[in-house]
Structure 1
């Protein structure tokens, strides 16, 4: 052999493309990788409950931006306000799905073969097994087989031996658990593909129709069109909230929220009254509408400098203090003349003066008032730029009307504020309440529920059932019994002793089970 030939033999051979693909597939489909991905999947879901999500409540995200815009911008770069739509969450989801498929299919085929396979014949020397016993008895093969069958063993007999086995349900439960996880992932994917979510704010007395244009925020699945929406509608006739009253250490905490809806399941259908409560959604052919929030909508009447009513109606306020429901609202009056008007409002449900300030001491509307700060100028509605109905900070051309005091005297219901310079007046005429709703359609909801139940049952089977084998050999009146547990860490000693006692007629133990 030449030196060149020796170098060629010693040179290591690379895996190549096919080899690396096989290695990657084996690594991805290993049980260790599946467990790591399952842990990462659960860990990646945590930010979805820590940070507000746009598809649940966009107003909370907007408030997060208002309180800390720099931090909010960085969080948004990492999709932490849209966790379940982020590319990194989708990557974990798809890798977990592929890993489970690669784990489950080969194990299922192997398990089916194992179930059809007969228990192996008895070893020659049963006394070498971890569990063994020997006694003298006039025991036949048929009697030993019948005894083991009563204990729900699968039995196979030979010339002088009986083989028995049970515990296959352990692996069955394990496979059911993993198949259920696959079904759960498919159900979640189907919900994201064919389902949709929408958020809307509705004031008492107003209605809602389940159309794309009616939503404040609408998040459709990839295969959802406008025609896919269930054609129901409703009117919010009343909303009631109760709170713990004075004299209790938890005064002000909410007790009940209830919205009364007049619902039409389809155009032309008869009205039905629905009492909508938290965690008790409106269900119209699988489309669920949840009550997720509420607040106050004070009613105003704005008269401009020409004496014309330029605005009249309720204005939803965003809650700034969840314990007392102090709220902030913005009123924009683009039709006012000779100049456009705008107002900042601070709504106090139960007003109490404290020195030169006013605060709310209770979330219920026991003594509602509104503090108003008026502005005049160009609202910029003709610029084409989108603007928030809850914010005036972007309007640079608005000027304060009069002296802007930190704590203006609040207006009670029926009182009015005359604007300086004859610009008009604003009157506080009443109080309504609003509710925020989330409408969802998820075709994978029921399959996901069934898969979750199956996963729990499969996990229980895999944790509680033990795989074990028993052999009985009869030679010249001597009965030798051997046992083997195929589940690591399980205790087979007591059950094996019971089996031996039931096989031995002299023990006096009945084999009826």
Structure 2
């Protein structure tokens, strides 16, 4: 007889280990924590400080977008330090990657911080005031008023007084006891949100002005005219989204320039008579100054400086004459307007490769001491010019860029330009060169340094700045206040006991305002109580301090 073995008991499952969070969950938690840190108001303040700190090098060091010549001069003066600063983008601060990173992080932080608060504030505007605390005497300001009016009539008086003071009022009844809740000052949080949203709009306006804006600078001599084309400007910078076809078709001509000085020879005003209009038109007259630019179709033309352009007549040995040739001389000393410059004449020789250049020093009111010309007055009372004449090869067709306001020193060092004569000239005097060429100083014309600017974000920035100021005033001047009242029957007298309490949030002491409210309530309750209208109110009031509910 065979037997069947009993079945083996099933093996017990191993004890389950706690589920470990997946890598995706850990990554999501990490990103959520970083997002909360980034959108915290503390982070926004730190980023705003970093943005201001990052802008400091842009104001201390020359920027390529403003003056390429100043950057080149800085490289010449600091050959060791300048390349290091250039590797850190300190000559292009406002277009550098690290400045853009701080800028974008500030945008994200502000938007991520303000938008949830704005949604929460929108819900708060629709939410009625909270119920009154159970013990009003624990509020920072509280008082107890006695009256013979019914509880409903007493609360009616309180409600009327609070509505006159622009409170939102809600009546409730809990446990058979009538109570009242009121609040005002929600506009304080509105001002806070307006301030931060306007700050975001301000940053957007500045960014838009940089992306779609442009500006160019040019020296214009009296009688000359320029059109708004990047090819004509001495220095030109434009946003990343600006195309050459986006420039406004405006031409500006300088008819006359006037500089006025105080008795101590400091500049009082610079004014320029100009004409402006579309290309091919005669133009409309206008007078502009340093703080009074020309505004047309969103563009602005500023006067940023002035100087002098000496005029010369060059007579060649064969009798040919080139009259009224000139070039702007840049001021090297603003107090006396002494200026330096160069006049390049590459096409004077007939059948010869020799070219002529004049390097000079102009003094509006000249004084010669030991054959050295200096200027003693910024006004052109006795104009003189010190001239050094060079002949040879100027290198204008070499393909290498060179300044129009100075000679290429490398040509002089290589002997391609040779000094042939020098002298100090007053108006009408001449300098004779060895080959028979005569250079005559005819006088001067004044030039104005004009800047043409287009900033489409200017109006946006102005509106955002006004909104920032309005929001800041709302934050500083308004207070968040809540008032609660509860009316119950006094079993001892059969009258009504009115408990009133107030809570003020933010800066400011609410005790004086609460005392004024209770005084007005006593007067109103007394006036509505015929039994006590003819005598002073006998209700007791007490102000107590405690923790906020």
Pair in the same fold by TM > 0.5? yes
Q: Find out whether 1:441 has 2:454 as its counterpart.
A: yes
Q: Secondary structure of the residue that 2:332 maps to in structure 1?
A: strand
Structure 2: stretches of 5+ with no match in the other structure: 1-13, 490-495, 529-549
Aligned-partner Cα distance in 1 for 2:80–2:266: 33
1:397-416 correspondence runs (5 A): 397-402=415-420, 409-416=423-430
1:34-49 correspondence runs (5 A): 34-49=44-59
Structure 1: stretches of 5+ with no match in the other structure: 246-250
Q: Find out whether 1:380 has 2:395 as its counterpart.
A: yes
Q: Secondary structure of the residue that 2:400 maps to in structure 1?
A: coil
1:351 corresponding residue in structure 2: 366
Indicate which of 326, 343, 356 corresponds to 2:338.
326
1:465 corresponding residue in structure 2: 478
Bigger drift between 41-50 and 31-40 goes to 41-50
Bigger drift between 130-139 and 440-449 goes to 130-139
**CA pair 69-94 structure 1, distance change in 2 beyond 3 A:** same
1:29 corresponding residue in structure 2: 39
Bigger drift between 122-131 and 56-65 goes to 56-65
Equivalenced residue count is 495
CA drift of 1:368 comes to 0.8
Aligned-partner Cα distance in 1 for 2:466–2:394: 56
2:9 corresponding residue in structure 1: none
Aligned-partner Cα distance in 2 for 1:351–1:218: 34
Give the ranges of 4+ consecutive aligned residues of structure 1 lying more than 6 Å apart after TM superposition.
Answer: 8-15, 506-510
Contact 1:378–1:397 (Cα < 8 Å) also in 2: no
Indicate which of 497, 500, 508 corresponds to 1:478.
497
1:17 corresponding residue in structure 2: 27
1:240 corresponding residue in structure 2: 258
CA drift of 1:269 comes to 4.8
Aligned-partner Cα distance in 1 for 2:527–2:399: 91
Indicate which of 283, 286, 289 corresponds to 1:274.
286
Cα shift readout 1:61-84 (whole Å, capped 9, x = no counterpart): 455455555555554444344332
Cα shift readout 1:345-397 (whole Å, capped 9, x = no counterpart): 11111111334432101111111111111222221223211111123213234
TM-score (norm 1): 0.89
CA drift of 1:9 comes to 6.3
Q: Find out whether 1:296 has 2:308 as its counterpart.
A: yes
Cα shift readout 1:160-197 (whole Å, capped 9, x = no counterpart): 11100011111100000010011111111221222211
2:118 corresponding residue in structure 1: 108
2:440 corresponding residue in structure 1: 427
1:50 corresponding residue in structure 2: 60
2:265 corresponding residue in structure 1: 252
Q: Secondary structure of the residue that 1:381 maps to in structure 2?
A: coil
2:8 corresponding residue in structure 1: none
Q: Secondary structure of the residue that 2:55 maps to in structure 1?
A: helix
CA drift of 1:263 comes to 1.5
**CA pair 453-125 structure 1, distance change in 2 beyond 3 A:** same
TM-score (norm 2): 0.84
1:454 corresponding residue in structure 2: 467
